[in-house]
Amino acid sequence: MILRRMWAAAITALCIAWVPAVCRADDAVWSIAGKQVLRLHATAGGMTPQERVDALDERLTNILSQGEVRLGAEDIALSTSNGEVVITVRNKLLVTVTRQDAEANNTSPQELGRRWLVNLRNTLPLLAPRLNKHGA
C-alpha cells in the first residue's frame, strides 16, 4: 500500500512538472484556417500572449491588404532586429521570437524562429487571393 502511494505521488509530481512546460494557462495559440501556426508563451513589449496573438492578426491583415501580388514563401523571412529574432513578411514585422517563448520550447530563439518560419511559409501563402484562370 505504501509503495502504491509513493508510486502515485511520483507520477503526480512528474505530471505537474511536465504540464506547465507543455501548455500553460497564459499560453496563446495563433491558428490560421484551423491550423496551429505558433504558440506564444511569453509577454513581450508589455503584451500578454493573447494580446500578441491579436496583434499578429492585425499585422497580418495589414500586410496582406497592402500587397498587390500574391504572397510567396520568399516574402517571409527570419532576421535579427535590435538583438531580437524576428519574422517579417514583406519586410514588415510580424512576430518577435522571445527568449521566454524559446525556453518554453526547450530551444533557442533562433531555432524556434526557424520552426515558426517553416510553419508560416507553409501556411501564409495559402491565404493570399489567387487569380482564377479558369473562370467562375
pLDDT tens-place string over residues 1-42: 544 443 333 333 333 333 333 445 578 999 987 889 999 988
Cα 28 from chain centroid?
Answer: 9
Q: Which pLDDT score, from 0 to 100, does residue 14 have?
A: 33
Cβ(84)–Cβ(109) below 8 Å: yes
pLDDT in tens, 35-57: 899 999 888 889 999 999 999 99
Q: Which pLDDT score, from 0 to 100, does residue 132 have?
A: 66
pLDDT at 121 over 90: yes
Terminal Cα distance for the chain, rounded: 72
Q: Where are the alpha helices (DSSP H) in the chain?
A: 2-22, 49-66, 99-104, 109-123
pLDDT in tens, 56-114: 999 999 988 887 788 899 999 999 999 999 999 999 999 999 999 999 999 999 999 99
Q: Which pLDDT score, from 0 to 100, does residue 102 have?
A: 95
pLDDT at 136 over 80: no
Average pLDDT, the chain: 81
Q: Which pLDDT score, from 0 to 100, does residue 118 have?
A: 97
